Structure 1
Amino acid sequence: MKIAVDAMGGDFAPEAIVEGIARTVKAGLPDGVTLVLIGQESVINTLLTQFGVTSGGEVEVIHADEVIDMGEHPTRALSQKPNSSIAVGFAQLKAGQIDAFCSAGNTGAMHVGALFSIKAIPGVIRPGIAGFVPQLNGGTAVMLDIGANADCKPEVLAQFGELGSIYARQTLGIESPRVALLNIGEEEQKGSVVAQAAHQLLKENKRLNFVGNIEGKDLFMNRADVIVADGFTGNTLFKLGESFYEVTKQLGLHHPFIDRTNYESIGGSPIVGVNGNVIIAHGISSPTAIQNMISLAIRQVRASVPAHIEQALT
């Protein structure tokens, strides 16, 4: 298994990325797993040496001399910088040379790169970005979408329920994931026209364990294993949840549950619905976040999520 990481992507790249890789190697990789760093080779090798790791064996380096900056236009940057770390990463993924591609770099470029290289799985209307929401009972819910699709038609929201259900079953081991639609009330007739139509589509899908609407107050209350939302609402609520860790830290408070709302605890968010394993991390990713992102990527590769989605949709 080869897990590739964009060494040049992120607010604190390449130092934080390479340090995260070095920590992962020193902690011990699972048998058969190789980490691949993509970016400016001389810079990466210097940092690997600085952090006590050498390339070769468990760590490979693939040279890419260009970098897509965080503020660049995604489509334009990918076309104008074919030798960027993100473009080279997707070329490697498309060619089957790596099993997963992870980056804390330009989110738009990662999403566009996935859609134009490995492409959406046949039958998927719009791939979404999944977020992981800790539950008070110790479990985890998958929220889909958290930012890829700000505006969604009812059919897209309904399919998020199906994609999220497959993801939760394969990666979290939940046999019959409870699927809920995020809304402004629990009643069927609540919400926008789009939300009401999506509710009916989810309700009619016999392949789903649809439990109805949930409200924002239910986010952490173990009411669902899959939370369906459009990208605008999902992103807003998900980032509100992530803010709890910083707020409580500034207030001098601590609780193990709040630790799980820290973005570092998972390390990244997968793009669900594309023909490959793509993980997007926070731009502010620390070495700890990179370590956890790699663990997430390994679990996802082992779960063969894209294959299961393709099988379900055909």
Structure 2
Amino acid sequence: MRIGLDMMGGDFAPLEAVKGVKLFFDTVATDAHLVMIGDEAALAPLLAEAQLDQSKYSVVHSSQVIGMNEHPTKALKEKPQSSIGIGFHLLQSGKIDAFISAGNTGAMMVGTFYSIKAIEGVQRPTISTPVPREDGSFGLLLDVGINADCKPENLVQFAVLGSLYSKHILGINDPTVGLLNIGEEEGKGNLLAQATYPLLKEHPQLNFVGNVEGRDVLTNKADVIVCEGFTGNVVLKMAESFHDIALRRNINDDYMKKFDFESYGGTPVLGVSRPVIIGHGISKGVAFKNMISLAQQMIQTKLLDKIRESFVK
């Protein structure tokens, strides 16, 4: 397998990206070949210092970088030789099997939707976040940002995508699905929640357990929790703040450490035809290492083939 990595994306590029590659090769048993996309002059001394096995990677030169604050569509059009632009070209042409970047999130989303498309039958691709639970396991929350307004059918598809991801990536055999709501009883919530509930309840591929409330998000009441991206992003950002508060208050707690985004690296765009993983702009070495590991796992488990099969059904 060939995994493409944008070496110029993120606030600490390319140094932390190189550190992540070294961590990956040092700690993960793999036959993956990494295709590093970035400025050769900037990468050469860092790669030399890292002393990586040269048979395990190759470098594709990019002469341009899309800044974090640039307009996504305009930047991709005007900077075809950017690391993100080249990455999507390689992915679209089949020269890499997955693409990872901690760069401009908007450019990553635009590149994803316009170069590799959604899997047939998927109305709206989605992004998710792992949710650390008190028992030590992880649940999944989606959507967490790219679909601020949704229809009931969208949430049902998010539930299917999240269930497949939970089963094949998180290792949960028969994941339960909950609908994020303001009460447990059927019929609670706004019009979207009320219309979504019966669709989830009747769906033959889902193990639906009903509504879950905000206090249930960090418990094991449901393995997959679905909501529209507006609510999901609010929950995500609040959860990320737990780790920051713990650090500021010198709270040394193993559970609170799991709210550090570095522990899971990045989020895949679920529902598109090739693996695309988007990292946080402040990603450091551990986050890059975990994103590469996730890409490898998605390829090895053939997750996208399983999603295709599910939507054909």
| Aligned counterpart in structure 2 of residue 223 of structure 1, from 205, 221, 224 | 221
> Could you tell me which residue of structure 2 aligns to residue 196 of structure 1?
194
Q: Secondary structure at the match of 1:136?
A: coil
Offset of residue 19 of structure 1: 2.0
- Structure 1 residue 28, shift from structure 2 partner: 4.4
Q: Partner of 1:129: helix, strand, or coil?
A: strand
Question: 2:21 is matched by which residue type in structure 1?
Answer: I
Matched letter for residue 232 of structure 1: F
Change (3 A) 1:124 1:259: same
Match status 1:149 vs 2:143: no
2:262: which partner in 1?
A: 264
CA distance in 1, matches of 2:28, 2:161: 29
Structure 2 unaligned blocks of 5 or more: none
What is the identity, as a one-letter code, of the residue corresponding to 2:9? G
Does the 8 Å CA contact 2:5/2:36 hold for their aligned counterparts? yes
Unpaired segments of 5 or more residues in structure 1?
none
Which amino acid in structure 1 is aligned with residue 104 of structure 2? N
Asked if the contact 1:22/1:48 (under 8 Å) is kept, the reply is: no
Asked whether the 8 Å contact 1:180–1:224 carries over to 2, the reply is yes
Alignment of 1:236-251 (within 5 A): 236-251=234-249
By how many angstroms is 1:29 displaced?
4.3
Q: Could you tell me which residue of structure 2 aligns to residue 4 of structure 1?
A: 4
**Match among 146, 159, 171 for residue 173 of structure 1:** 171
CA distance in 1, matches of 2:167, 2:237: 24
Write the distance in 2 (CA, Å) between the matches of 1:28 and 1:217: 36
Partners of 2:266 and 2:98 lie apart in 1 by: 13
Tell me how many residue pairs correspond in the alignment: 312
Aligned partner of 1:294 in structure 2 is 292
Structure 1 residues 137-168: Cα deviation after superposition (integer angstroms, max 9, x where no partner): 22111111111111111111111011111111
Residue number in structure 2 paired with 1:105? 103
1:35-60, Cα deviation, whole Å (9 max, x unpaired): 22111112112221233336x31121
Report what 1:45 is aligned to. 44
Structure 1 outlier segments of 4+, above 4 Å = none
Deviation at 1:241, TM superposition (A): 1.0
SS of structure 2 residue aligned to 1:207: coil
Q: CA deviation at 1:31?
A: 3.6
Alpha-carbon offset, residue 246 of structure 1: 1.5
Q: Which amino acid aligns with 1:63?
A: H
Q: Is the 8 A contact 2:177 2:209 kept in 1?
A: yes
Cα 1:113–1:180 change in 2 (3 A) is same
Q: Does 1:160 align with 2:154?
A: no
Q: Name the CA distance, whole Å, in 1 between partners of 2:45 and 2:239.
A: 37
